[in-house]
Structure 1
């Protein structure tokens, strides 16, 4: 229970210092049918709302980015990446976690409490209890007797309806029953969020099982290769499939029922709007979860069929060895100890264009288009490759040679003297590289100096920089 208190997102949110403001902001921007927003957009909207909440007395000293990051770290928000249809770049979005949905639902019930006991609710409980007792009774004679009683009651209702003696529910009772339906439906988004969390947990377990296997062609690996859907066979997957099938079977009847309720029952505008959006929201959520499960299944198959599984196992083993070494050294190496490991700038290892694998957006199930005739191989110049590398990286080796050349001749050098002796072949990038070397290996004089160079287009440039002096060769 202590771990649940400290780790469950619902309790973390409700116990936070600014819980009331957080509930208002999350419900306003991610509640109802909105569900998901890009991270930047959510942070900007919260920034717009913070002044209003401060005037209301809430202490919110930070910006929207701080609160969004904190909610992500605490598990209140779930961060996902989605590729928009109009762009090639992925967009990072956030949505409420299942725990956050539980917390918001709990607060909503506190703000709109229902009567403690209503006849309709008590009747639903008693009817459910009676149906459970009948269906669980092992005696077939007792079950038959119960069904005959139900048929007799239904025949009596039909006869009263034919005589015109049956009356509809009173308006207040009908409205109360509609609110109870909405209250029950309000718990479904949290249930679906838990299904998604469980599907992702199952996917991680399947991947871990693949990576921890010894590489032999066991039954589990063969199942994945053949396309067996272990996600759909999990408890969460079976629940999702049953939910989707039930929703599809009852779709048309439920739409008609919603229309009849709206025509005959007087509801407040927010309640009528929630009832009208009920089916589309559930259908969208079911479709999205189905797409998620399909994408996870395809990713598992791609992982096995691509032949990259041995490399993934090797990487996992190396990471485990590195973690073990770090844990072994933790007792002797204090936290914050400087690790003298550097990466040299300009070290570019060009790869062959044949090493790039085109991405198939349709996954393994899509039919690949006919391959175009392969073009004749063209010779690749090493000089051209080096020129391409220089366009994206600062040539530190060249700059180091220029500095050492001036130091060997004059005994000392500055950035200005190096540029006077050797032109900046990469324009401003050469100046930045020299200044970086000066800060690392030179000595500051406390003064400034004028430096000049020509850009890659031949335009004269000039700047005033802090003066550093090289007194020995740069290693």
Structure 2
């Protein structure tokens, strides 16, 4: 229980310092039908929402990228790479809510909009389910036959009342309450599907570990993977996904008709009607996506075995294990603060996540090669266009150096705040980072802090406090 308290994303999110604000931000930007966003877009959306929450009294001192990174580290968000839109174009790194985050948000929504504790329809559903369970699980065939005859008699009586016109529909209030209960039950399905994805990925890691720990002989498990046996589909999560997909496919047309009939006869609010209308498409999209995920994991396992990569993977695993053993053996003699005399120079190019790298994917034996579009003819590129491309990837230090020297010539001294006041940050936050770097290299720290403001590339006003550095001479 202690490990669950410290590691489960639902409890981690609910026990965090800014739990209320986090739930609002995550539900607003990744809830409802929008289940996935690129990392940069989610960070920008949070930057736009944070001022509103600050005015409401929440202490949120950091930017959107900080919170997104923290949620990824805590398991609240799951990073994935979206499929490329065209041949040769890399996919975008996206994030989505983990199963634990969905559970936490669902829990909070039930606190803010509690469902009535007891309703006749809910109690009737429980009693009907209990009665059916007792009938179907009864080992006595005579008792099961008597129950079926009783159900047929009740159904015949209901049919006869309908023929006479005595069978009245469900009252409007009861019908609306029943529809809300259906939506409440359907609201738990996204968290269930997220748990299925997590379990599939855990099973895939276990299968890979089993392959790497084998001695290299052609054992039965290795042969099964080589022949294409789908161990993922045979797992508990895989069987549940296949059953869910088959049931959804069988009931697709009937359920669509039912949704139309309910919307035509039951009075629901706009939000409830919209949620009911997109219920089936959302479930179908989620089931198709999970099926594609399982198929992709299966093909990756087959490629791992058929391509002959296992010996190299086993050697790499052995070397990593030896390095870990050496580190553990050295740990008692080397303190955590020991200087390693290793430096990593920080360049002007903005760092990117490892998840943003696009490794070469040769494809599997059963995958078709993508259509290769013809190379476009070469065209002339102007010097201004090349300079604009360079500014998109690197900080324009020459421009910042000129801005600092201009303020020093005019006022005799300059700080980052005075430079930004005289010259706008043409590269947004990158210009601020570049000025701070120049201040650390060529300025004199005063020991104070100063407020600096600028506008982002989207035109949103930004403000922060930085250590004050004073320029008294030209920056070379």
**TM-score bin (small chain):** 0.7 to 0.9
Alpha carbons of structure 1 residues 280 and 324: separation in structure 2 relative to 1, 3 Å: same
Alpha carbons of structure 1 residues 230 and 331: separation in structure 2 relative to 1, 3 Å: same
My pick for the range that moved more, 77-86 or 29-38, is: 77-86
- Cα distance between partner residues in 2 of 1:368 and 1:284: 25
Report how far residue 15 of structure 1 moved.
1.3
Report how far residue 358 of structure 1 moved.
7.4
In the other structure, the counterpart of 2:314 is 313
3-state DSSP class of the match of 2:365? helix
In the other structure, the counterpart of 1:76 is 76
In the other structure, the counterpart of 1:373 is none
| Residue 206 (structure 2) pairs with residue 205 (structure 1) | yes
Report how far residue 114 of structure 1 moved.
1.6
3-state DSSP class of the match of 1:365? coil
- Cα distance between partner residues in 2 of 1:465 and 1:303: 55
- Cα distance between partner residues in 2 of 1:369 and 1:277: 33
Report how far residue 367 of structure 1 moved.
5.1
Query: How is 1:418-429 mapped onto 2 (pairs within 5 angstroms)?
Result: none
3-state DSSP class of the match of 1:246? helix
Query: How is 1:57-136 mapped onto 2 (pairs within 5 angstroms)?
Result: 57-86=57-86, 88-136=89-137
Question: Which one has a bigger Cα radius of gyration?
Answer: 1
Report how far residue 83 of structure 1 moved.
3.1
| Residue 149 (structure 2) pairs with residue 148 (structure 1) | yes
- Cα distance between partner residues in 2 of 1:89 and 1:368: 16
In the other structure, the counterpart of 2:277 is 276
Report how far residue 364 of structure 1 moved.
2.4
Give deviations 1:16-41, integer Å, cap 9, x for gaps.
Answer: 11111111110110001100000110
TM-score of the pair, normalised by structure 1? 0.73
3-state DSSP class of the match of 2:267? coil
In the other structure, the counterpart of 1:18 is 18
Matched-pair contact (CA < 8 Å) for 2:176–2:267: yes
Unaligned runs of at least 5 residues, structure 2: 345-358, 372-473
Query: How is 1:431-442 mapped onto 2 (pairs within 5 angstroms)?
Result: none
| Residue 19 (structure 2) pairs with residue 28 (structure 1) | no
In the other structure, the counterpart of 1:238 is 239
Report how far residue 340 of structure 1 moved.
4.9
Matched-pair contact (CA < 8 Å) for 2:81–2:92: yes
- Cα distance between partner residues in 1 of 2:475 and 2:98: 51
In the other structure, the counterpart of 2:48 is 48
- Cα distance between partner residues in 1 of 2:60 and 2:135: 56
Alpha carbons of structure 1 residues 368 and 54: separation in structure 2 relative to 1, 3 Å: closer
- Cα distance between partner residues in 2 of 1:342 and 1:55: 42
Report how far residue 147 of structure 1 moved.
0.6
TM-score of the pair, normalised by structure 2? 0.73
Higher RCO (C-alpha under 8 Å, 6+ residues apart) = 2
Give deviations 1:240-290, integer Å, cap 9, x for gaps.
Answer: 000000000000000000000000000000000000010000000000000
Report how far residue 338 of structure 1 moved.
3.1
Matched-pair contact (CA < 8 Å) for 2:85–2:91: no
Give deviations 1:351-383, integer Å, cap 9, x for gaps.
Answer: xxxxxx97445x32135699xxxxxxxxxxxxx
- Cα distance between partner residues in 1 of 2:221 and 2:114: 50
- Cα distance between partner residues in 2 of 1:465 and 1:268: 64
In the other structure, the counterpart of 1:159 is 160
In the other structure, the counterpart of 1:334 is 335
Alpha carbons of structure 1 residues 332 and 369: separation in structure 2 relative to 1, 3 Å: closer
- Cα distance between partner residues in 1 of 2:360 and 2:80: 23
- Cα distance between partner residues in 2 of 1:130 and 1:144: 14
Give deviations 1:212-254, integer Å, cap 9, x for gaps.
Answer: 0000000000000000000000000000000000000000000
Alpha carbons of structure 1 residues 115 and 367: separation in structure 2 relative to 1, 3 Å: closer
Query: How is 1:172-191 mapped onto 2 (pairs within 5 angstroms)?
Result: 172-191=173-192
Alpha carbons of structure 1 residues 128 and 154: separation in structure 2 relative to 1, 3 Å: same
Report how far residue 342 of structure 1 moved.
8.5
- Cα distance between partner residues in 2 of 1:143 and 1:229: 38
3-state DSSP class of the match of 2:278? helix
Give deviations 1:93-140, integer Å, cap 9, x for gaps.
Answer: 110000000011111111111211111000000000000111111111
Query: How is 1:235-314 mapped onto 2 (pairs within 5 angstroms)?
Result: 235-314=236-315
Alpha carbons of structure 1 residues 26 and 300: separation in structure 2 relative to 1, 3 Å: same
- Cα distance between partner residues in 1 of 2:70 and 2:342: 32
Q: CA RMSD in A?
A: 2.0
Give deviations 1:168-194, integer Å, cap 9, x for gaps.
Answer: 000000000000000000000000000
In the other structure, the counterpart of 1:3 is 3
- Cα distance between partner residues in 1 of 2:76 and 2:33: 18
Report how far residue 465 of structure 1 moved.
8.9
3-state DSSP class of the match of 1:364? coil
- Cα distance between partner residues in 1 of 2:370 and 2:299: 19
- Cα distance between partner residues in 1 of 2:299 and 2:367: 11
- Cα distance between partner residues in 2 of 1:248 and 1:364: 29
- Cα distance between partner residues in 2 of 1:279 and 1:223: 36
- Cα distance between partner residues in 2 of 1:172 and 1:263: 15
My pick for the range that moved more, 12-21 or 220-229, is: 12-21
